[in-house]
Structure 1
Amino acid sequence: MRRILLCLLVLAQGALAEVYTYVDAAGNRVFTDKPGVGNAQRVTIAPSNSMSLSPPGPAPTAPPNEAPAPAPSYQLLRILLPEPDASVRDSAGNLLVTAISEPGLHPGHGYRLLVDGQVIGEPGRSPVFTLENLDRGTHQLAVEIVDAQGRIVERTPSQPLHMLRISLAQKRQANPCRRDDYGVRPECPLKDKPAQKRDIPFVPFL
C-alpha cells in the first residue's frame, strides 16, 4: 500500500520535477526525484491532459410543466325561433331569429347570424336578430359564437326556413284596390288607376 501511495505522489508531481526509479537492497521498487541514488533510471511520464474550466453557471431549470388553460366552451348552442323547416308568411319578408347558449356568452365572445352561408351584420352580445325584406323561398339559417379575433368557437347546424311572401297580385285579389288606394298601397300603383269617366250632359232633343 505504501508503495502505491508513493507512486501516485510521484506521478502527481511529474509536471514539476523529473522522476527516477531503482530497486533497493530489499528488492523494492523505489521512486525518487534524485537522480544520483543507486542506479536510478529516469521515468518518462506522458504529459497530462488539461482543460480550462468556465465558472459554474446556474443550474438549468426545467420549464414548468403547466398545461395551458382550456378555451371557454359551450355545452349548448341552438336556434329557438324559427323552428327547423318552419314556414313563415310575411308580406314584407320580415323575420325574427333568436338563439340560446349554455352557459351564457363568455367575455369577449359574440353571436352572429348566417343566412345561406353569408354573415349578416356584426357579432353582438344579443342572441336576437331581425331580418327585413327576406326574399321569398327557402333559406338556410345558422348562428355562430365567435371570439374577439373573429374565430368560430361554436356553431349551430344549418336549418331550413321557408319564407312565404304574398305577391302584389295576390294582395290585390284578396283586397281589391279602390280609387283612393292608388298611389297609397304598393299593390295599387298610380299607373294602374283607371281613368275617371266624364258624365255627358243631357241635351234634350229639339
Structure 2
Amino acid sequence: MVTARRTVTHLVALLCLVGVLSLAGHHVSATDIYHWKDEQGNIHFSDFPDSPNAQAISLPDVPAPPQVLNEAPVDWTSSPYLEQSQKQASTKLAVAITRPQHDATLRNNSGDFSVSASISGSLTDIQTLQLLLDGRPYGSPQTTASWSLTNIDRGTHTLTIQVQQSGKVIASSNTITVHLHRASVQ
C-alpha cells in the first residue's frame, strides 16, 4: 500500500515536471528523464542518472502554447470606466467664499457675522465642509454652505473653507481676510 502511494506520488511529480516544462513558453524538445528506486524504496527522478539502476524515460515533444492575438482592435476611448472617470474629473469640487467679501470691514458689537460659500460640483455622502477661522476649525464639519459665527473678538481674521473626505482635505477655498469692529466700553 505504501509503495503504491509512493509510486502515485512520484508519478504525479513526474507529470508536474512535464507540466512545468510545457509552461516554459518555448518549444521543449524531447529530453530523457531518469528514474530509479533507492534502498528505502523511494523513487527518484532526475535529468541525469545518479544511480547505476537509473532507467531513462523518454518524454514526448511538447508544443509551445498558442499565442492569443486579439483580432479586433480595441477602442480604449469608449470604455464605460473611462467615461465614468472623465465625469468624475470634470465634476471636480471647487469651493469659494461668497460672503463676506475679501478685506471687508464688518461692524457688529456682539461679534456676530455670517459666512456663505458656493460649491461647484456636489458633495457626496462622505464629504463635508469645514470653516477655518484664523487657521483653526470653527464648529463641526457640515454639509451646508453657510455658517453663523458668534461672539468673535474684534480685529482682523482669516476665513477658509475646506472640503474634507475621510479626514483629508480634497478642496479648499481661497483664504480671505475680514476686519471685525466692535464698540469698546470705556
Relative to the length of structure 2, the TM-score reads 0.52
Bigger relative contact order, structure 1 or 2 (CA pairs below 8 A, ≥6 apart): 2
Counterpart for residue 173 of structure 2: 156
Helix, strand or coil at the partner of 1:168:
coil
Superposed CA deviations along residues 132-166 of structure 1, whole A, max 9, x for unmatched, are: 1111110110011111x121111011110101010
Segments of 5+ residues of structure 2 without an aligned counterpart are 1-31, 33-55, 69-75
Amino acid at match of 2:179: H
Counterpart for residue 112 of structure 1: 130
Deviation at 1:48, TM superposition (A): 7.8
1:133 aligns with 2:163: no
Q: What CA distance in whole angstroms lies between the structure 1 residues aligned with 2:179 and 2:122?
A: 29
Query: After TM superposition, which residue ranges in structure 1, 4 or more long, deviate above 6 angstroms?
Result: 65-68
Counterpart for residue 92 of structure 2: 73
Deviation at 1:123, TM superposition (A): 1.1
Counterpart for residue 43 of structure 2: none
Amino acid at match of 1:153: I
1:98 aligns with 2:116: yes
Deviation at 1:104, TM superposition (A): 3.0
Relative to the length of structure 1, the TM-score reads 0.47
Amino acid at match of 1:165: R
Question: Which structure: greater helix fraction?
Answer: 2
Supply the RMSD in Å over aligned alpha carbons. 3.1
- Note if contact 2:97-2:174 (Cα within 8 Å) is conserved in structure 1: no
Q: What CA distance in whole angstroms lies between the structure 2 residues aligned with 1:86 and 1:49?
A: 92
Superposed CA deviations along residues 10-63 of structure 1, whole A, max 9, x for unmatched, are: xxxxx9xxxxxxxxxxxxxxxxxxxxxxxxxxxxxxx78759x9xx9xx9xxxx
1:166 aligns with 2:183: yes
Amino acid at match of 2:164: V
Helix, strand or coil at the partner of 2:171:
strand
Deviation at 1:77, TM superposition (A): 1.5
Amino acid at match of 2:175: S
- Note if contact 1:112-1:143 (Cα within 8 Å) is conserved in structure 2: yes
Aligned pairs, number: 113
Match runs of 1:5-44 below 5 Å: none
Segments of 5+ residues of structure 1 without an aligned counterpart are 1-14, 16-46, 60-64, 170-206
- Note if contact 1:85-1:161 (Cα within 8 Å) is conserved in structure 2: yes
- Note if contact 1:140-1:160 (Cα within 8 Å) is conserved in structure 2: yes
Q: What CA distance in whole angstroms lies between the structure 2 residues aligned with 1:84 and 1:152?
A: 22
- Note if contact 1:98-1:127 (Cα within 8 Å) is conserved in structure 2: yes
- Note if contact 2:133-2:160 (Cα within 8 Å) is conserved in structure 1: yes
Question: Which structure: greater strand fraction?
Answer: 2
Q: For the pair shown, which has the larger CA radius of gyration, 1 or 2?
A: 1
Q: What CA distance in whole angstroms lies between the structure 2 residues aligned with 1:48 and 1:108?
A: 66
Amino acid at match of 1:109: Q
- Note if contact 1:73-1:153 (Cα within 8 Å) is conserved in structure 2: no
Amino acid at match of 1:132: T
